[in-house]
Structure 1
Amino acid sequence: MRNLKRALAAVFVLLLAAVVLFFVLENQQTVALTLFGWVAPQVPVAVVVLAALIIGLAVGPLLGAYGVQRSKRKIRASAREAALSGR
C-alpha cells in the first residue's frame, strides 16, 4: 500500500511537471508590466503568471495564519474577561 501511494505521488508530480512545462513552452510571448510608473523588463508571460502564482501561494497561508492567531487572541481575551466577571 505504501509503494502504491509513492507511485501515485510520483505520477502526480510528473504530470504536474509536464503541465507546467507545456504551459511555459506555449507562453513565450514577452510582456512588460508597468506599475505606478515603474516598468519591469520584458519577460515571457509564463514567468509573470508563475511568479504571481508563487507569490499568492506564499502570501495566502501567511494571511490565514495571521487571522488564526488574531482569532485565538480574541478568544483568550474573552475567556479572561468572562473569568474575571464571573467572580
Structure 2
Amino acid sequence: MRNLKRVVLAVFVLLLVLATLAFVLENQQSVSLLFLGWSGPQLPVSLAMLFALLMGMLIGPLLGWFIKRKSLRSNYPG
C-alpha cells in the first residue's frame, strides 16, 4: 500500500511537470504588463503566469498564518 501511494504521487508530480512544460512551450509570445502606471519588461506570457502562480503560493499561506494568529490572540483574554 505504501508503494502504491508513492507511485500515485510520482505519477501526479510527473503529470504536473508535463502540464507546466506544455504550458510554457505553448505560450512563448511576449507581453508587457501594466500595473498602476508601471510598465514591466517584455516577458513571455508563460513566465508572467508562473510568476503570478509562485507569488500566490507565497502570499496565500502567509495570509492564512496571519489570520490564524490574529484569531488565536483574540480568543485569549489579556
Q: TM-score normalised to the size of structure 2? A: 0.93
Counterpart of 1:60 in structure 2 is: 60
Measured after TM superposition, the shift of residue 36 of structure 1 is 2.9
Question: Which runs of 4 or more aligned residues in structure 1 lie more than 4 Å from their structure 2 counterparts after TM superposition?
Answer: none
Counterpart of 1:38 in structure 2 is: 38
Aligned-residue identity in percent: 51
Counterpart of 1:73 in structure 2 is: 73
Measured after TM superposition, the shift of residue 23 of structure 1 is 0.6
Greater relative contact order structure (CA < 8 Å, 6+ sep):
2
Aligned 1:19-38 pairs, distance under 5 A: 19-38=19-38
Secondary structure at 1:15 match in 2: helix
Where does structure 2 lack aligned partners over 5 or more consecutive residues? none
Give 1 or 2: higher helix fraction.
Answer: 1
> In 2, distance between residues paired with 1:65 and 1:24?
31
Q: TM-score normalised to the size of structure 1? A: 0.84
Where does structure 1 lack aligned partners over 5 or more consecutive residues? 81-87
Larger Rg computed on CA atoms: 1
Secondary structure at 2:76 match in 1: helix
